[in-house]
């Protein structure tokens, strides 16, 4: 079974703090993703990575950074937490299938981290 784990289920931080969210997958997937999920807005992509030390901005990267030093680990960093970053954060991973196979890249999600910034 694919397993994606996240470092914390619940986290409470103060405005201005630096926050680290960690994600680890055990399926040797090349691709890893960070999303946030808010009521009425759905899942929004923050950053993603297709290989070690590579990263690309998603739809809402402002206020966030990421790090991928090892293939199995993808970290999301809130440089200076703000109250509008209170949200559910979800990590996902996938393996890139060859396009000619017609197979899409299924993403597998972790359990999520509910972050509250006071």
Binding region for another protein (CB under 8 A)? 4, 31, 33, 40-43, 45, 48, 50, 56, 58, 88, 90, 92, 94, 96, 99, 102-112, 114
Do 31 and 50 meet the contact criterion of CB atoms below 8 Å apart? yes
d(CA 5, CA 78): 19
CB of 109 to another protein, least distance (A): 4
Closest CA to 77 of 92, 93, 89, 94: 89
Spatial contact of 49 and 39, defined as CB atoms under 8 Å apart:
no
For residue 63, the minimal CB distance to another protein (Å) is 20
CB of 80 to another protein, least distance (A): 26
The residue among 21 and 90 lying less far from another protein, judged by its C-beta, is 90
Cβ proximity to another protein, 12 vs 103, nearer residue: 103
How many Å apart are CA 65 and CA 60, to the nearest integer? Answer: 11
């Amino acid at each position: 079974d694919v397993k994606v784990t996240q470092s914390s289920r619940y986290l409470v931080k103060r405005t201005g703090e630096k926050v680290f969210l960690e994600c680890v997958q055990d399926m040797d997937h090349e691709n890893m993703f960070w999303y946030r999920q808010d009521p009425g807005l759905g899942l929004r992509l923050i950053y993603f990575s297709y290989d070690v030390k590579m990263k690309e901005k998603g739809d809402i990267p402002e206020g966030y950074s990421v790090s991928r030093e090892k293939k199995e680990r993808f970290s999301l960093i809130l440089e200076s937490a703000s109250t509008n970053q209170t949200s559910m954060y979800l990590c996902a991973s996938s393996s890139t299938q060859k396009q000619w196979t017609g197979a899409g890249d299924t993403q597998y999600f972790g359990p999520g981290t509910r972050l509250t910034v006071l």
